[in-house]
């Protein structure tokens, strides 16, 4: 069995050592990948361009999709929390004295917090009886839910932080295949670079934001496969 040469603060991770962590991470990553496909929100009228009646009509027409969004959003939060804890545990095994474990927890925790707020906004259209609410409340809720869209843009940064911190630790400690580590590092760098678009608006940074956004959809699937492969090899 090959070993990975690392720094003094890093202990190489053999396939057998983190078997439970690899299994939990594989399952959580796959669950997150599946649940994210139910969180895409339906097209909604522009704020200020529709009245309360139009908002109620939109919510009624999109009721099924909104219910799916809320259900999938809750599942995604649970899967993300489990995945973050598993990834941080693997990092602590590989690099017990590294800050990368804390950065992994920070990225996953912030992302879970953002997703909780976004899912909470979706629940506003699922749980209450909109017909029983006054027009001012409906319009205020509708205007407020667009904060969720802004948070979704910020989520690219937290997603990239989570991917980048774990991928660096995984590369140093041999947690998973090197190709996944380098992929995560590159995708994280691209996603984090999109922050520059807030300072210097440019089509380039808009593109990097989109890459960071959609990379997060693909990464959990690839990670779940890599974790499962490493786990299976360790059990042979």
Lowest mean pLDDT among 18-22, 45-49, 73-77: 45-49
**Cα-based distances in Å from 49 to 31, 118, 139, 144, 178:** 37, 22, 11, 15, 50
pLDDT tens column, 152-182: 778 888 999 999 999 999 998 889 999 999 9
Produce one character per residue of 139-149: b if its CB has 16 or more CB atoms within 10 Å, e if not: bebbeebeebe
User: With bands split at pLDDT 50, 70 and 90, how would you rate the model's confidence at 225?
Assistant: very high
Q: How confident is the model at residue 39 (pLDDT cuts 50, 70, 90)?
A: confident
DSSP codes, 54-98: HHHHHHHHTHHHHHHHHHHHHHHHHHHHHHHHHHHHHHHHH-TT-
């Amino acid at each position: 069995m090959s070993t990975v040469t690392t720094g003094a603060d890093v202990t190489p991770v053999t396939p057998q050592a983190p078997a439970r962590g690899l299994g939990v991470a594989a399952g959580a990553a796959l669950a997150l990948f599946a649940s994210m496909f139910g969180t895409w929100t339906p097209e909604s009228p522009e704020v200020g361009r529709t009245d309360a009646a139009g908002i109620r009509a939109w919510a009624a027409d999109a009721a099924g999709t909104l219910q799916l969004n809320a259900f999938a959003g809750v599942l995604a939060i649970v899967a993300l929390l489990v995945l973050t804890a598993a990834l941080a545990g693997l990092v602590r095994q590989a690099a017990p004295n590294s800050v990368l474990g804390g950065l992994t927890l920070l990225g996953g925790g912030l992302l879970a917090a953002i997703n909780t707020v976004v899912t909470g906004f979706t629940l506003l259209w699922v749980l209450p009886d909109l017909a029983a609410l006054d027009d001012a409340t409906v319009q205020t809720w509708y205007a407020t839910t667009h904060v969720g869209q802004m948070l979704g843009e910020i989520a690219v940064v937290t997603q990239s932080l989570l991917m980048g911190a774990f991928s660096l630790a995984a590369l140093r400690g041999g947690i998973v295949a090197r190709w996944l580590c380098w992929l995560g590092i590159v995708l994280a760098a691209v996603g984090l670079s999109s922050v520059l678009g807030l300072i210097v608006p440019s089509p380039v940074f808009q593109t990097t934001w989109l890459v960071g956004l959609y990379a997060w959809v693909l990464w959990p699937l690839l990670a779940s496969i890599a974790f499962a492969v490493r786990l299976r090899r360790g059990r042979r």
